[in-house]
Structure 1
């Protein structure tokens, strides 16, 4: 049962320390994230390397020479390196799952943490519950947030099917149980689930041991309904339509918040869970965290899809505050590593309106360049430009990270990328050790920006990528527009090989202009100058400003970050017109035009839409830039069809006008 509400643990803090706990109230958009696999980061306590001393299912799996096995990293090791991360400008740490796993099962070892059997305690390979509390307390003292990676879709592979398995749990034939569809189940063609005797009570809480709470339809083939109801790589797939599963998962994670006081959750395999689950789960988790004294507790989900229309359905229909932006990763890799057209970046930003609703927008998306599943930016660079010089490869990594830090959304650095790790492929080939590695396939990699290998201790604070990321974090912290500002695509009138965008903060209202050259040739970009003058904040190149024209000359693989010396133009004509309604596969788009708004003008003009005759009605969408549009679900649109909506247009001086339209 849940205990009473309490505030974050500050029992060991002095009054002066309590006064500096600004992590509690810091806006998510002010964070710089570091995504780390504890097992591969730093080994602070070798005594826990073999896992549990009391639970056989969570014992063993250590083999420092195998890329698949446990390597010994833990909570104490991570705590030892907090200053290393703080020096890089990191303000939030997201760890792969750390709850107690089945250490070894069909398919490998649980070094990654995604095979949970016990949702109430930390995996002993990573330490104890007290070790985790110590890490969180130490991080908070350094003003660093801690995010847990959580799982609601599945548990470890414990359940077996009589049709596929022997009584001891081993397979009868091929190591798979083909998926049975909902129609098959309705027709009586089902699997008969059972749990081998030696595994009957291994899951905690106890309700997770009952097969009735699982779909039991066999292995997913990643398409159609199997993506929701099938076993994810053989893992036991929870029936997330069941109200008891929903309430059980809510209680599990509320209890973890009560005990450990993390600052947020990243949620695994979100698109493999029923959408209805998120509508119930997410609000209750955030509400509980706030009741525990964590006012800015944040949730973001993993939806492995680069399509903004798909990704955004989980922040709009699914009510999750945010998701990892796989679309950003794809666009950055295409432009900075593979030489694709810069139109890919323009399209990415133009699709940001898909994320706008009453309580979320693209500012809250989590940007990243690589991860533990798909691989590293160093890998993508090596594959796309195998014959490039060492200097070119390093510059590609640096400039793409600059794009990540200066773009809308929150930057997420994958551990080791700041040390030039490259990896050989995706998955375990992208999970190198930061402490000296004994894996041969890791140690023969040529790292970016250094003569070191993964056989060395890789916590070099002088590495050019580490120092670049520290610098980007400093620039981002110094400019509110780079953290919270509206992002607008800027038209480069003379050169399609470069791209530019503006960020403008609603309070300061001074344009910060970023111009990027992702090519290996010198480039000059011509843009309209909307300010009387510009100062260079960061980057390279020469800037020539004459009247309304801005010429930015950039060396290969570089950027220039400029800031206007005066405020952006004020839009005084606040008349709004609604265009023809458009439909996509799953959405309805309501387009709006403001006659005096030039497409790429970095000016504050906010349109707010309300589902009624006035602004007291339910809010629908807030949009800050062209193309102005409200993107609604088809269900939302059907509910509004034939009714009136209100549009409020507000400019940078606070002047506003109301307009009503009938749908």
Structure 2
């Protein structure tokens, strides 16, 4: 599907100009992002520092991708017409946190990906190619300690920095916000120290590395008014993941985070192209989005694949996936393509949808 993307991206925008000067400052304007096409990658799965095509023996652990690997293959991304990349969270993680979502020490860089200097070089290299860099961030939870309740070495090293353990009742919003997602320690975002530390951390990441935007994980699992200060502290474009299919549930979050991942559109796309639902499902879903209270449809991120959901190609044939991809890229909003879609990867549930891209050889002729 790389050839399809190479055709679609130039139709949307003209992202890379031969005579354009390199970006030297961060974009803080949401409108700037509304004219971008984003390539989402998992840092551990996109590219190794030294290329090889050997498979990963354990998709549930680190496979060897790095910041330098991304630098080495920026032209591969730009060659398809993408002018923004979305990378994995960067803090030091608990054991097995190859994806970046199990932070321990928010002040340290995940050394499995490379050094702080490597990360700075990545952002600089992307900017030199007129590409924005979006950082995935997490403020809801941390990684599970190897010894229960022992937070030694964590940024949040006391039990009072966490909500008491409870299983989530998804019919109770307070439970959604304060109980533990998948057993992960839930940060007490009513605690002043926790709040101020999270705000200063995201501010420091932006100022130190020069990211152009952030993608916020698990937004619905934190009280809404927390996000106003978090977005302000970041000072750059912010999009949030509210993993829910209801427009009435998702849309109010746009009053706190300017952009949202468009899950209310994802589910109709999934139903039509994998479950043989009629096109009426897609039409009604889109009509709901248009009339459902979103403040800016241009800032919704549209997608067919990501790291949390089975790849569409694991459920449908390639012709249907191409149609779904075309729809998601041409509909109103910001298109996002998950790495591997261009190589017709077909992994199902996590972690099978997190394959290493290097086994493809970064083919430029994949259909």
TM-score normalised over the length of structure 2: 0.87
Partners of 1:241 and 1:276 within 8 A in 2: no
Partners of 1:64 and 1:71 within 8 A in 2: yes
Paired residue for 2:154?
Answer: 203
Paired residue for 1:428?
Answer: 351
**How far, CA to CA, are the matches of 2:100 and 2:50 in structure 1?**
18
**How far, CA to CA, are the matches of 1:461 and 1:72 in structure 2?**
22
Pair 1:273-2:176 in alignment? no
Secondary structure at the aligned position of 1:283 is classed as helix
Pair 1:404-2:353 in alignment? no
More helix by share: 2
**How far, CA to CA, are the matches of 2:205 and 2:334 in structure 1?**
25
Select the structure with the greater relative contact order (CA < 8 A; seq sep ≥ 6).
2
**How far, CA to CA, are the matches of 1:378 and 1:111 in structure 2?**
24
Pair 1:95-2:103 in alignment? no
Provide, for residues 547-582 of structure 1, a one-character-per-residue CA deviation record: whole Å limited to 9, x for no partner.
xxxxxxxxxxxxxxxxxxxxxxxxxxxxxxxxxxxx
Paired residue for 1:181?
Answer: none
Give the 3 Å change call, closer, same or farther, for CA 312–120 of structure 1 in structure 2.
same
Deviation at 1:126, TM superposition (A): 0.3
Pair 1:419-2:362 in alignment? no
Paired residue for 2:147?
Answer: 169
Provide, for residues 270-301 of structure 1, a one-character-per-residue CA deviation record: whole Å limited to 9, x for no partner.
11111121133223322xxxxxxxxxx31011
Larger Rg: 1
Give the 3 Å change call, closer, same or farther, for CA 262–355 of structure 1 in structure 2.
farther
Paired residue for 2:305?
Answer: 370
Partners of 2:310 and 2:349 within 8 A in 1: yes
More strand by share: 1
What does 1:266-305 align with in structure 2 at a 5 Å threshold? Answer: 266-286=215-235, 297-305=236-244
Give the 3 Å change call, closer, same or farther, for CA 17–242 of structure 1 in structure 2.
farther
Secondary structure at the aligned position of 2:106 is classed as strand
Structure 1 unmatched ranges of 5 or more: 1-15, 47-62, 159-167, 171-193, 287-296, 382-392, 437-456, 465-663
CA RMSD, 1 decimal: 2.2
Deviation at 1:211, TM superposition (A): 1.6
What does 1:468-479 align with in structure 2 at a 5 Å threshold? Answer: none
Give the 3 Å change call, closer, same or farther, for CA 154–340 of structure 1 in structure 2.
same
Structure 2 unmatched ranges of 5 or more: 1-17
Pick aligned residue for 1:240 from 180, 189, 209: 189
What does 1:8-87 align with in structure 2 at a 5 Å threshold? Answer: 19-21=21-23, 24=26, 27-44=32-49, 64-87=56-79
**How far, CA to CA, are the matches of 2:165 and 2:232 in structure 1?**
29
What does 1:574-589 align with in structure 2 at a 5 Å threshold? Answer: none
TM-score normalised over the length of structure 1: 0.49
What does 1:536-547 align with in structure 2 at a 5 Å threshold? Answer: none
Paired residue for 1:349?
Answer: 286
**How far, CA to CA, are the matches of 1:24 and 1:253 in structure 2?**
14
Partners of 1:365 and 1:409 within 8 A in 2: yes
Partners of 1:151 and 1:268 within 8 A in 2: yes
Deviation at 1:91, TM superposition (A): 0.8
